[in-house]
Amino acid sequence: MALPAPSGKVKITYEQFLEQIDEDTLAEWVDGEVVYLSPASLGHQLVSDWLLRYISAFLDKNAMGIVVSAPFQMRLLRSERGREPDLIFVANQNLHRLHDTYLEGGADLVVEITSPESLLRDRGEKYAEYELEGIPEYWIVDPDERRVDFFVLGADGRYERRHEDAEGVYHSEVLRGFKLPVRWLWERPPLHEVLNQME
């Protein structure tokens, strides 16, 4: 039987969390407690949906793994947290870690799209957790500032900042061959017009 946490809340296991939270509830599992998330804004969803379709189109042509959008849990083993990133990419060699409702361990690439409510968490807690978990690549997309911070895990296990090239195009290290002109996240051009530029 779970004992009350010092805060007065009851701590639960990750398995209990998965049983109690349905697929329509936005929540994460932190320090044994359920943390409810605010609904995403329209701007957040437009960026997330467009990026999901763009990465999916790339993966249709390059069978490297799969991309999954929220709500879907990622169970971090080293920090014992259950996070729900906006997008995760799982490479073919790690597909065996996917379960019906969660990924066991860190994804190969994680994308968090910030909101005013999540900004500190995405740049603070989650940055530290994803680095500790050894997630190879982490993107923080800020629609309000029209800014993206790209991080790649270095040989020392710490994140290193990566930048777009002179034309404003980011080249992913995990998704080899994937090119993201950052301005497209705000312009969101029709995919049929840009797919030929993925070559």
Give me the residue spans of the domains in the chain: 40-198
Cis (ω within 30 of 0) for the bond into 71?
Answer: yes
pLDDT for 150: 98
pLDDT band, very low/low/confident/very high, at 172 (cuts 50, 70, 90)? very high
> Tokens for 76?
């971090």
Q: What is the pTM of this model?
A: 0.87
Residue 60 has pLDDT above 60, yes or no: yes
pLDDT band, very low/low/confident/very high, at 198 (cuts 50, 70, 90)? low
> What is 40-198's CATH number?
3.90.1570.10
Please write down the long-range contacts of 24-27, taking CB distance under 8 Å and 24 or more positions apart. Answer: 24/71, 25/71, 26/70, 26/71, 26/84, 27/84
pLDDT digits (tens, 9 = 90+) for 100-132: 999 999 999 999 999 887 787 888 999 999 999
Contact (Cβ atoms closer than 8 angstroms) between residue 116 and residue 33:
no
Lowest-pLDDT choice from 25-29, 126-130, 145-149: 25-29
Residues near 147 by Cβ (< 8 Å), separated by ≥ 6?
A: none
- Tell me which residue of 48, 37, 46, 42 sits closest to 117, measured CA to CA: 37
**DSSP calls for 26-57:** -EEEETTEEEE-PPPPHHHHHHHHHHHHHHHH
pLDDT band, very low/low/confident/very high, at 140 (cuts 50, 70, 90)? very high
